[in-house]
Chains A and B, each alone.
Chain A
Amino acid sequence: MLLIECPWCGPRDDQDFTYGGEAHIARPERPEKLSDEQWGDYLFMRSNPKGTHLERWVCNGCRRWFNVCRDTVTDEITAVYRMGEKPPGAIKKAGRKS
């Protein structure tokens, strides 16, 4: 059970949210220009790190999306930040090349 802080509604039980998976996977601008491998990578490949994970949640109260930085082993949430924002400070996205 997680205590997640919605940027608009404040701290709530995770049952008041819906999980949206890994954050910062941008839809390619020109999908028709991609190879099958690149498109498959966008659709399916995930970093799935053991440790720091940047992920999206949507609040079932205000229905707004936001990003969360959570440790997948300890469940500690170290940052909550809005859509379109970069993860704060030293937090880096794991796994993904480039």
Chain B
Amino acid sequence: MHATSGIPIVTMSKYSIFSLVRNALGYHENWPLAWRSPEPKAEYDVVIVGGGGHGLATAYYLAKEHGIRNVAVLEKGWLGGGNTGRNTTIIRSNYLWDESAALYEHSLKLYEGLSQELNFNIMFSQRGVLNLAHNLHDMRELSRRVNANRLNGIDSEILTPEQIKAIVPILNTSPTARYPVLGASLQRRGGTARHDAVAWGFARGADAHGVDIIQNCEVTGIRRNGARVEGVETSRGYIAAKKVGVVVAGHCSVLAGMAGFRLPIESHPLQALVSEPVKPIHHSVVMSNAVHVYVSQSDKGELVIGAGIDAYNSYAQRGSFAVVEGQIGALVELFPIFSRLRMMRQWGGIVDVCPDASPIIGKTPVENLFFNCGWGTGGFKATPGSGWVFAHTIATGEPHPLNAPFTLERFTTGFLIDEHGAAAVAH
């Protein structure tokens, strides 16, 4: 069924306890598809390149907040198959600088209502995020950051080793530990969410508002008419677009190359791994920036463990064994109880890192072409906020106040937002 504007009106079936019971009676064989798989149209008002969380959130907010529904999301693989499905699902907003704090805090606030907003359980769990300090310098940096957070209205507090021990009894806080724990910052509103569900929830919501989600559709070129973008060449043919928003973590330099400009970005592998599932043992998120490991426990019982990037540029979605060795060494020093756990899976994703470890969200040298990229190692926590501000930027042609500082021009003007080593670092 089509409205006069040619935009399909989709009636989304609402998920509830009643729909669950009703479908249980039908042996769960009659659940409707969560979104359509339409053929691409010849032209859209907006084409979003990249069907990860950020791209899908952008499409959702474009349709819902700005009434722009003639939108396609083009994904070369499957939804959320890139970094959205590869991260360690940590959400927090305790960033040092005002610009980042405002952006990530907006995202955290959106996360707090997202399951209701999307009628999709994203399993958001505000279990608290601790960042450990292992030496005096760590403590000073941590105090500075906690104070900055509080001035920005972000919940953040400093814990003593005794207070940490009460929250994380299995953490080795012995003064003779190799990595002595002098204190920690705690953001109680931080936590984790189911990463796939965030992508799927936004996809279902966007689809319900008429957005075409087109998977297995790789963008191979960006067509320009002079200074203005006209559309995109894809593996499924040419698609014209009045505006194009590129949200492709791991490939933004490649896409910028197609449009004819360069980015201050280098792509690196970032790995994570999970252990065999065990009974609930670790109820918060613990991050250590000095020894570079972070760990939480999923609802399935697996420990989800992350570390840092490989130093060299790479587009291969795998990393070095040395990084795994380092992170597991640090993990076992901090949590001796984990020493006999077996690791079940390990994987890598490609993260696009800016020189100041902050994203680029906004206009490009090409008219009507917008980029949202360079989230580095910490984009998942920003998913709804990123979509929110990027949708605003595309809809109005001007940045939202929250992403106005995150321009590409800052690498000319020097107004960098230096979050390297300042933002509790490990993401």
Contact = CB atoms under 8 A, between A and B. Distances in A.
Contacts of B254: 50
A73 B263 contact: no
Contacts of B315: 50, 72-73
Interface in B307-362: 311-316, 320-322, 355
A1 B320 contact: yes
B316 A72 contact: yes
A21 interface: yes
A37 B412 contact: yes
B264 A46 contact: yes
Interface string B161-203: 0000000000000000000000000000000000000000000
A74 interface: yes
Given A21-B266, A44-B355, A48-B253, A74 B316 contact: yes
A1 B322 contact: yes
Given A50-B254, A53-B313, A44 B322 contact: no
Given A1-B322, A15-B322, A95-B257, A44 B313 contact: no
A40 B313 contact: no
A43 B312 CA distance: 18
Interface string B93-110: 000000000000000000
B381 interface: no
A50 B413 CA distance: 28
A55 B312 contact: yes
B41 interface: no
Contacts of A90: none
A50 B311 contact: no
Chain B at the A interface: SS class: loop
B265 A46 contact: yes
B262 A47 contact: yes
Contacts of A21: 266, 313
A55 B314 CA distance: 12
A45 interface: yes
Given A55-B312, A73-B315, A48 B321 contact: no
Nearest to A57: B312
A73 B355 contact: no
B15 interface: no
B407 interface: no
B411 A44 contact: yes
Contacts of B251: 50
B251 to A, nearest CB: 7
A1 B257 CA distance: 28
Given A1-B322, A18-B311, A48 B316 contact: no
Nearest to B412: A40
A45 B313 contact: no
B193 to A, nearest CB: 30
B313 A95 contact: no
Contacts of A1: 320-322
Contacts of A53: 313
B314 A75 contact: yes
Contacts of A72: 267, 313-316
A72 B313 CA distance: 6
Interface in B207-256: 251, 253-254
A93 B36 CA distance: 43
A14 interface: yes
A8 interface: no
A36 interface: yes
Nearest to B325: A15
A36 B414 CA distance: 9
A43 B414 CA distance: 10
The 5 A-B residue pairs with the shortest CB-CB distance, nearest first, are A44-B264, A48-B253, A40-B412, A19-B311, A44-B411
Given A19-B312, A47-B253, A95-B262, 13 more contacts: A1-B320, A22-B313, A40-B264, A40-B412, A43-B411, A44-B264, A44-B411, A45-B411, A47-B262, A48-B265, A50-B315, A75-B314, A75-B316
Interface of B: 251, 253-254, 257, 262-267, 311-316, 320-322, 355, 411-414
